[in-house]
Structure 1
Amino acid sequence: MKKGLAVITILALLVCALGASAQEEGSAEPQVFTSGDYEYILLDDGSAEITYYKGTERDLSVPAQIDGFTVSSIGGSAFSHNETLFSVELPNSLTGIGEEAFSSCEALQSVSLPDSLASIGNGAFSFCYSLNSITIPDSVVSIGRNPFERCDCLTRITVSPDSAFAVIDGVLFEKSTKRLICYPCAFTAPDYCVPEGILSIGARAFSFCSSLRNISLPDSLVNIETLAFSQCTSLNNVILPDSLTSIGDFAFHLCSSLNNITLPDSLTSIGNGAFSGCRNLKELTLPDSLTNFGGTAVFFGCHDLTLTVGRDSYARTYARENNIPYTYADANDWLTN
C-alpha cells in the first residue's frame, strides 16, 4: 500500500514538473540576434523581424536580408524615438509594420512603403511631427488604429482606386468596414462633414485636431471608437445622429471647448472617460436608452456639469452612485400643474 502511494506521488510530481517545463518553454522569449545596427528575431516561417534599430543614419534603406534571412516584418517600436532618421526606404520583402514601429521619429519626413506590404499596425507612424506625405500601396489590406496620429505636417495621404482604402478630401477611410481611420491633424479647416455611409469613427481618428470646431456626423454612423476626438481642444458643438449606439472610452477626452453635445435616443453605451476633461460642458441630457457606462470616470473633470435624466432610468442611477448633479426634464412642471 505504501509503495503504491509512493509511486502515485512520484508520478504526480513528474506530471507537475513536465507541465511546468512545458509552460516555461511555451512562454520563452524568442532569441534576439544582432547584426550591425539591427536586432532581430526569427519568425516561425524562418524570416526575420527587426525588433530594434540603434543606428544614426539620416537616410536609411532597410535591407531585404539580414544574415541571410529575409526581412518580412518591422516589430513594434523597433525604430521609435529615433532622433536622426529623415527618410526611410523599406524593402520589397516586407509584409508587416508593427504597432508604433516608427512612433516619435520627430525628424522623419519621408517613408517609402513597398508593394509587398500587407499590414500597418496601430499608431505605426504616430507622433512623427515632420512627416508630410505618405503613399499606401495596393498590397496593404489591414491598417490598425490611426497610424498617423499627431503627424503635425501630414497633409497628403495617397491611395489608388484599386486599394482596400479610400481618401476623400484628404481623409483616410477603410472601404470594407466603412471606417474613418485618419483625419490629419495638420488640417486647419474649422468644420468637417463626415460622408454619409460611414459606420464608424476609428480609434484616435481625429485626436489632436486642434483647429476643428464643428463636426457633422452622418445618419449612418453606429460607433465612435476609443479616443476618437480626444484633445480636439477647439471642438465646441457636436450633434450625434439617431443611428449611434456606442461611444468609446475617452472618445471626447480633453475636448476643453466642448459646450454643446446632443446624445440620441439610440445610444446604449458610453465608455469610461468619454467626456473626461470637458470642463466647459455644463448641461447634458442622457437618453433613457442608455444601459451601460464603462466606468465611474465618464464625466471626470466636468466640475460644472448637471445631467438631465429620466426618473427611473439607468442614467439616474449612475448619476446618484457617482455623485453627479442631475435633474429631470419635467422638474419644474409643478409650477403649471
Structure 2
Amino acid sequence: GCTSLTAINVAEGNTAYVSENGVLFNKSKTSLIQYPAGKTDSAYTIPDSVTYIGYDAFLSADSLKSIEVSGNNPNFSSRSGCLYDKTGMTLRVCPAGLGTFTVGKDVAWVYSGAFSGNNLNEVVFSEGASATLGEGAFYDCMNLKKIVIESNANVVFNVASIGFLDSEKHTIYVVAPEGYTIPESALYGNIEIVYSEHPSDSEDCKEFPIIYVVIGAIAVLALAGGAIVVKKRKA
C-alpha cells in the first residue's frame, strides 16, 4: 500500500539484498522481492537472472502497463505486456495500469494475486477458455465492474478469488451463459453480483438509449414550458 514509494535503495555493504533502478532483489538477483508501487515507469523488463517473484511484488503499481521478459529467462515469459510462467499457461501478473484484459484459452491457471490492487475495470474469459482462479486473484481490484465469460468457457473460482477489505458495496456485472453462477465462497467482502445472460442486456448498453430518450423528453417539455424529474433506474 505504499503508493508514494518510488524507489527502494540498498546500501552497498548489505549482505542479503540489492537494488537496481529502485527495485528490490535478493543479493544474487534470483528473487524479485518488490517493485515500488509509486514508480512512474510504464514498462519494466525482468532481468534474466530472476527465477522467483515475490507475492504481490507488483501490487498497486498503477503506472505500470507492461512487464517484459527476455526469451533467456528460465522461468518466466511475457505476452502483450503480461507476465506468465515459461509455458504461458499460468498468468502470474497483470500490470496494474491496464483497464481491460482478456484471458486467452491457453491459460489454465490465474495465479493468486494476479490482478491484486490494479485498475482493471473489465476482464473477459474468451470463448473456449478453461481457467482456474487462485485465491485472491482479484484482491482489492477497486475498479472492477464487469466480468465477461464467453460461450464454452470453463472458469473455476476458488475461495476468495474476488475480495475487498473495505466496507463499501462493490457491484460487479457478470455476463455469462445461462445458468452460470459464481459460488458464494469465491466472494469476500461486501459484493453484489448482477448477472446478465447476453452482453446486450448489460447496464452499459441500456444507458445509451435511456439517456437520449430523457434528453429528448426534457427538450420537448422545455419548449412547452413544462418540467420533468428523472429518477435513475436502479440496476
Task: Answer yes or no: same fold by TM over 0.5.
Answer: yes
SS in 2 for 1:258: strand
Work out whether residues 66 and 80 of structure 2, in 8 Å CA contact, stay in contact via their aligned partners in 1. Answer: no
- Gaps in structure 2 of 5+ consecutive residues: 1-6, 198-235
The match for 2:191 among 278, 299, 304 is: 278
Shift of 1:131: 4.8
Structure 1 match to 2:172: 258
CA gap of 1:136–1:204, structure 2 versus 1, over 3 A, is same
Selected match of 2:65 from 144, 155, 158: 155
Is the alpha carbon distance of 1:178 and 1:119 closer, same or farther for their aligned partners in structure 2, counting shifts above 3 Å?
A: farther
SS at match of 2:60: coil
TM-score (norm 1): 0.44
Q: Which letter does structure 2 place at the counterpart of 1:278?
A: I
| Residue pairs, 1:1-337, within 5 angstroms | 60-63=9-12, 65-66=13-14, 71=15, 73-74=16-17, 89-90=19-20, 110-111=22-23, 116-121=28-33, 124-125=34-35, 128-132=37-41, 133-163=43-73, 164-176=75-87, 178-188=89-99, 191-217=100-126, 219-232=128-141, 233-239=143-149, 242-244=153-155, 246-254=156-164, 256-262=170-176, 270=183, 272-274=185-187, 276-279=189-192, 281-282=193-194
Counterpart Cα distance in 2 of 1:225 and 1:275: 13
Q: Is the 8 Å Cα contact of residues 206 and 230 (structure 1) preserved in structure 2? A: yes
Unaligned residue ranges in structure 1 (runs of 5+): 1-57, 75-87, 91-108, 286-337
Higher relative strand content: 2
User: Do the aligned partners of 1:204 and 1:228 also contact (CA within 8 Å) in 2?
Assistant: yes
Aligned partners of 2:172 and 2:194 also within 8 Å = no
For residues 68-112 of structure 1, the C-alpha deviation after alignment (integer angstroms, 9 at most, x for no partner) is xxx2x34xxxxxxxxxxxxx735xxxxxxxxxxxxxxxxxx7337
Between the aligned partners of 1:118 and 1:264, the Cα distance in structure 2 is 46
CA distance in 2, matches of 1:155, 1:192: 11
> Does the 8 A contact of 1:237 with 1:258 survive in 2?
yes
What secondary structure is seen at the aligned counterpart in 1 of 2:191?
coil
% same residue: 18
Distance between the aligned counterparts of 1:258 and 1:197, measured in 2?
A: 25
Query: Higher relative contact order by CA 8 Å / sep ≥ 6: 1 or 2?
Result: 2
Q: 1:271 to 1:161 in 2, by over 3 A?
A: farther
Separation in 1, partners of 2:27, 2:147: 41
1:115 and 1:139 in contact (8 A); partners too:
no
Q: Which amino acid aligns with 1:216?
A: F
CA-based RMSD: 3.7
Alignment-mate amino acid for residue 201 of structure 1: V
Indicate how the Cα distance of structure 1 residues 62 and 196 shifts in structure 2: closer, same or farther if over 3 A, else same.
farther
In the alignment, residue 11 of structure 2 is paired with which amino acid?
V
Q: 1:217 to 1:144 in 2, by over 3 A?
A: farther
Equivalent pair of 2:45/2:68 in contact (CA under 8 Å): yes
Name the CA distance, whole Å, in 2 between partners of 1:199 and 1:118.
26
Count the aligned residue pairs: 183
Give the TM-score normalised by the residue count of structure 2.
0.60
Pairwise CA distance, 1:172: 0.9
Change (3 A) 1:207 1:119: same
Larger radius of gyration: 1
Contact preservation (8 Å) 1:135, 1:159: yes
CA-CA distance at 1:150 after TM superposition:
0.6
**1:111·1:134 contact (CA, 8 Å) conserved in 2?**
no
